[in-house]
Structure 1
Amino acid sequence: MTHKVALGVEEEFHVVDLVSRRLTPQAHVVLDGLPEAAFSAELQRAVVETNSEPTTDLAALRADLVGLRRRLMASAAPHGLGISSAGTSPLHGAGGFSLTADDRYQYLHDTYQFIAREQLICGAQVHVDIDDRDLAVLVAQRVEPWLPALLALSASSPYWFEADSGYASSRAVAWQRWPTAGMVGPFSGAAEYDQAVADLVTAGVIDDAGMVYFDIRLSTHVPTMELRICDACPLVDDVILLAGLFRALVVRETAAIEAGSPPRGDVRPTLLRAGHWRAARSGLEGDLISPVDGKPVPAPGLIEWLLEDLRPTLEQLEDWPTVAALAADALARGSSAARQRAAFNQRGQLTDVVDLVLKETAVG
């Protein structure tokens, strides 16, 4: 059996007033009394974050994430607040554009202006252990062509500022406005990666290495690789699916590098950027760009192909039954973006969209 590599998840959530269904800057109310190690504030006071414990087991990860969500909801409910997991929340409140009091967040606002003010978005981030930083940089670049498929699976932000954006993931498009967002590399190893980050600091683009927002980045303080491309997901099972797929990609490409095998996917920057846009545009309900030949392919077909391609690794990790079942369920029900639009189309009310996401977020 392949060594069971540890992984963990950070989830970001919107804080919603249950009467108006609008965002409300009351993260501090929800966080009051919760442990800082597992629950934290974000740039916007209408967003909270949870951090799971590292584990090698997907079932344990799921139980942890469900428990963290339930604790958030239990803290929010007495104040008339709800916890919503999606890339964006359809209804904004005037108080939603309120930054958390913190020197770092003040720097982000002063430097990036409207990009920071409009950062009312939530993501799901997966961390996978990898000790060798040189190897991690190479693995990240080989995993990168497959990230649009993971974005498509997570797409949950069709609404942007109370209107249909036309995208399955408006969050992914908004995120790309940050000057360090997007593709990693090309880098030959950790020295080049670290020098590029240092150059960004010297140039005044960022204040420190923690402000690097690559789709995959190396942690600045622990030996992990972070997946940062995905929307927050209403359903916990979709988060587990993403975590399982990402870990398998990392494990497979690590072994491939050690064996001297060539990359499986096309790593041309133009194709990668187009693939990212395509996934954000249509999620699971349209075509993705195949990183194998650059041709359009229906999203479910590409994800099923990726799943079979990863099957040997998933079986070695003993994750195959779980990940295969979760993938089948995700493809059968379609993206969160499509479900949100269906909810809106029933009565033409964005409150119905919020209610759907709140309900799905609470499903354990």
Structure 2
Amino acid sequence: MMKRRPVGVEEEFLVVDLQSRRLTPLAESMLERLPDEGFSAELQRSVVETNSTPMEDLSDVRAEIVRLRQALVAAGEPLGVGVIAAGTTPNTGIEGYTFTPGERYRYLSESYRFLAEEQLICGAQVHVEIDDRDVAVLAAQRVEAWLPPLLALSASSPFWMNEDSGYASSRALTWQRWPTAGPLGPFADAAEYDRTAEDLVASGVIKDAGMIYYDLRLSAHVPTVEMRVCDSCPLADDVVLLAGLFRALMSREIEAVERGEPPTGEQRLALLRAANWRAARDGLEGELMSPVTSRPEPAPRLVTWMLEELRPTLEELGDWEIVSELANEALLRGSSASRQRGAFAVNGRAEDAVDLLLAETRRS
């Protein structure tokens, strides 16, 4: 019987003034109204993060995500602010560019300059528990080829600096500028992974192992693999979908590694990067590269095919019904990027796209 591994979710949210619909540096004021557990600050004072308790059942994962979101909304309302779960905001405003106090954030702002200044982006990270770090490294490298469809499902950042970027996920492109971002490996085992992290710290390029920003990374503190490619998603159901798909991918490849089977997906770095770029540009409304052949396929067709490929694993985990239903709903409504562009197009107002994001983020 396949092990049902606990799943945890981190979500980042942009804090916006409910009157101007622009970013506002009031995350710290919100955090003062919230418990320490489950909520934290980020580099920019207009961004706040939630951290869920790891759960095995996807219904419980959803309930936890909704609970944390509702707490954020309740903390913001007396301050006249709301939160949006999106990779970027359609309506930035100069007020959002304020660094959070603290030694670490000061180091980031001084060492990385405009990378830190433009870190007004939000992601959704999913953690899957696995005790064997050697197996985790090998399985994660096999999963990488299957991540671009997950990025496409999450794409929610068509706007960058108040303009249409031409991408479904401008966040993904912005994030890739960090020196340790991008595909994982190749690594033969956890020891090689750890040596590389140590060498990067020793080089002075990064301060510590917490700045390893691979698309998939091993935690330095807990036995998990973390997926870092996705935009924040305004709809909680889309986060649950990503969690279910990622757990299934990791579970399948963990067993394949333990059986000594060869990988089925693309392993070449250049093609992995190209596939991620294609997903960031097109989202669900264009074409994605097949994780097996690297040839372009319409995004909905590829997501549907991937779902069928994962069906045996999802059924064994007890997740097929919820994941397949959520995937079909996501494909029917299209990406958040498309919905935001549609809201903007009605009257040419960025505020209308922000209102859409506020409403979807509040929806339970």
Superposed pair shares fold, TM > 0.5: yes
Once the two structures are superposed, the pairs formed by residues 121-160 of structure 1 within 5 Å of their partners are 121-160=121-160
Counterpart of 2:57 in structure 1 is 57
- How far did 1:101 drift? 0.3
What runs of 5+ residues in structure 1 fail to find an aligned partner? none
Cα distance in 2 between the residues matched to 1:94 and 1:336: 24
Q: Partner letter of residue 289 of structure 2?
A: I
Counterpart of 2:221 in structure 1 is 221
- How far did 1:63 drift? 0.4
- How far did 1:8 drift? 0.6
Checking the alignment, whether the CA contact within 8 Å between 2:135 and 2:258 is kept in structure 1 is no
Number of matched pairs = 364
Percent sequence identity over aligned pairs: 62
Deviations 1:276-308 (A, max 9, x none): 000000100000011211110011111111100
Checking the alignment, whether the CA contact within 8 Å between 2:146 and 2:291 is kept in structure 1 is yes
User: Does 2:34 match 1:34?
Assistant: yes
Q: Partner letter of residue 157 of structure 1?
A: S
Cα distance in 2 between the residues matched to 1:37 and 1:209: 23
Cα distance in 2 between the residues matched to 1:62 and 1:153: 17
Checking the alignment, whether the CA contact within 8 Å between 2:146 and 2:265 is kept in structure 1 is yes
Residue 35 of structure 1: SS of its match in structure 2? coil
Cα distance in 2 between the residues matched to 1:264 and 1:315: 20
- How far did 1:93 drift? 2.2
**Most deviating of 104-113 and 236-245:** 104-113
Cα distance in 1 between the residues matched to 2:124 and 2:77: 23
Once the two structures are superposed, the pairs formed by residues 240-279 of structure 1 within 5 Å of their partners are 240-279=240-279
- How far did 1:198 drift? 0.7
Cα distance in 2 between the residues matched to 1:199 and 1:132: 22
Counterpart of 1:285 in structure 2 is 285
Counterpart of 1:174 in structure 2 is 174
- How far did 1:94 drift? 1.8
Counterpart of 1:335 in structure 2 is 335
**Most deviating of 30-39 and 179-188:** 30-39
Deviations 1:217-256 (A, max 9, x none): 0011000000000000000000000000000000000001
Normalising by structure 1, report the TM-score.
Answer: 0.99
Counterpart of 1:206 in structure 2 is 206
Counterpart of 1:318 in structure 2 is 318
Counterpart of 1:106 in structure 2 is 106
Residue 124 of structure 1: SS of its match in structure 2? strand
Residue 230 of structure 1: SS of its match in structure 2? strand
- How far did 1:3 drift? 1.6
Deviations 1:123-167 (A, max 9, x none): 000000010111111011000001111000000000000000000
Cα distance in 2 between the residues matched to 1:83 and 1:58: 24
- How far did 1:264 drift? 1.3
Cα distance in 1 between the residues matched to 2:33 and 2:73: 13
- How far did 1:206 drift? 0.3
Residue 249 of structure 1: SS of its match in structure 2? helix
Cα distance in 2 between the residues matched to 1:270 and 1:197: 22
Cα distance in 1 between the residues matched to 2:210 and 2:329: 35
Cα RMSD for the two superposed structures: 0.6
Residue 30 of structure 1: SS of its match in structure 2? helix
Deviations 1:54-75 (A, max 9, x none): 1101000100100100000000
- How far did 1:33 drift? 2.8
Checking the alignment, whether the CA contact within 8 Å between 2:25 and 2:95 is kept in structure 1 is yes
Q: Partner letter of residue 280 of structure 2?
A: A
Cα distance in 2 between the residues matched to 1:94 and 1:334: 31
Cα distance in 1 between the residues matched to 2:141 and 2:37: 31
Deviations 1:152-200 (A, max 9, x none): 0000000000000000000000000000000110000111101111111
Cα distance in 2 between the residues matched to 1:40 and 1:191: 31
Deviations 1:315-348 (A, max 9, x none): 0000000000000000000000000000011110
Checking the alignment, whether the CA contact within 8 Å between 2:10 and 2:50 is kept in structure 1 is yes
Residue 280 of structure 2: SS of its match in structure 1? helix
Cα distance in 2 between the residues matched to 1:4 and 1:292: 26
Cα distance in 2 between the residues matched to 1:293 and 1:266: 7
Cα distance in 2 between the residues matched to 1:133 and 1:143: 15
Counterpart of 2:73 in structure 1 is 73
Residue 229 of structure 2: SS of its match in structure 1? coil
What runs of 5+ residues in structure 2 fail to find an aligned partner? none
Counterpart of 1:234 in structure 2 is 234
Counterpart of 2:188 in structure 1 is 188
Residue 16 of structure 2: SS of its match in structure 1? strand
Cα distance in 2 between the residues matched to 1:356 and 1:175: 24
Residue 284 of structure 1: SS of its match in structure 2? coil
Once the two structures are superposed, the pairs formed by residues 298-313 of structure 1 within 5 Å of their partners are 298-313=298-313
Cα distance in 2 between the residues matched to 1:264 and 1:304: 18
